[in-house]
A and B are shown apart, each in its own frame.
Chain A
Amino acid sequence: MHVLGAVGPGATALLERVAPRLDGRVATVEAVDGRGPTRREGVDTAYTLGDGGWRAAGGDSSLEAVLDDLSADHDYALLAGFPEATVPTVALGEADAANVVLEAADADEASVDDAVAAAESAEPHVTLSTLVERVKQSPRAERAGAIATFTGRVRAKEEDDDDRTTQLTFEKYEGVAEAKMRTIESELAARDGVEEVAMFHRTGVIEDGEDIVFVVVLAGHRGESFRAVEDGIDRLKDEVPLFKKETTVTEDFWVHDRE
């Protein structure tokens, strides 16, 4: 799922112009101040559901959690009014944001094409659910009775007295890394009984406890799915040019230097 933000006066108007230009399913998320539907006391999440669609209200959530939910079945998320988000953001009227990719005086002045291009060139928001939903859409899904998944995440400690790992930073050989991943996917998917393979590895800074890498296998039966998921993550780690720098509470180092 590609994500585009807009901040400043006219942010919502700009995103309303962007939405119809996008192919695929589009979500919008708007920052509001204390407004929104109310929930009864003791209720954490409330839905209304009917023929015309659904509405929902919930308590504490973060933008990250909302994007994680949307990423399962949306191609784009448009965010209005989240200046602190690290997503590609259009800044209108000299508003400030963490990751400004385009500036314009107002919504009329902003180039929709440039905004969409900036969103599409950034790393997409991908979760395990994104890949699981993707393989379920396969034309070969009716032959598949199993989905096996692997999630790699940032481990803070191996032993109690280890220095805590606070973050990892992944650098990627752009283009070649993707090509190698697509090769691994197609070679594993060519095995008897394996229908689809999807993998994704995040890059940049990933904090302690966050997910790093996903491998998802759609297969006829569980045996093939387990073998393919294990071989998939092993091959990804051996063959795909991704480099890991580890930051602990005391130091920074490239992980391959310590092996």
Chain B
Amino acid sequence: MTTVRWRLFADLAEVAGDRETTVTVGDGATVEDALDALLDGRNGLRARVFDDGTLADHVNLLRNGDDASLSESVEEDDELALFPPVSGGASSHHRV
């Protein structure tokens, strides 16, 4: 078994009710398996990050600080992170 840590930020943390949690997946598991384990029982978060059954384009996925793909494998003590688009320059005053 492999235990990895998830970090969530901004409104993703608010929707999930947690900023940090660990999940345990089987040996040889992928980032996608770890994501499924995270979203299991967190339907609000699933609705927030999924778009038509796949991870929405605007959601960032990092593994140990670098961009990650769903198909890569995870290792013990990895840190995975999910977060919305970073702060950018726009403010409410630009909204359409």
Contact = CB atoms under 8 A, between A and B. Distances in A.
Interface residues of A, number: 31
A229 to B, nearest CB: 15
Contact of B92 (A179, A243, A253): A253
A12 B86 CA distance: 43
Given A165-B92, A248-B92, A237 B83 contact: no
Interface stretch (B7-15, B22-30, B39-47): B7-15
Contact of A259 (B9, B10, B11, B85): B85
Contacts of B88: 237-238, 244, 255-256, 259
Interface string A232-259: 0000011111111110100001111111
Given A237-B87, A241-B86, A158 B10 contact: no
A33 B92 CA distance: 44
Interface string B61-96: 010010000000000000001011111111111110
A243 B10 CA distance: 6
A39 B41 CA distance: 68
Interface in A106-159: 155, 157-159
A246 B87 CA distance: 11
Given A173-B9, A176-B62, A256 B84 contact: yes
Contact of A155 (B58, B60, B91, B95): B91
A240 B65 contact: no
Looking at chain B's contact residues, the main secondary structure is loop
Contact of A256 (B62, B81, B85, B93): B85
A238 B10 contact: no
A61 B60 CA distance: 44
Contacts of B83: 173, 241, 243
A259 B94 contact: yes
Contacts of B58: 256
A242 B87 contact: yes
A171 interface: yes
| Residue in A155, A257, A258, A259 whose Cβ sees the most chain B Cβ within 10 Å | A259
A173 B81 contact: yes
A240 B83 CA distance: 11
A165 B10 contact: no
Interface in A180-197: none
Given A171-B9, A243-B87, A255 B93 contact: no
A157 B93 contact: yes
Contacts of B85: 256, 259
Given A237-B86, A243-B83, A171 B91 contact: no
A36 interface: no
B94 A241 contact: no
A170 B9 CA distance: 11
Interface of A: 155, 157-159, 162-163, 165, 170-171, 173, 175-176, 179, 237-246, 248, 253-259
Interface of B: 7, 9-11, 58, 60, 62, 65, 81, 83-95
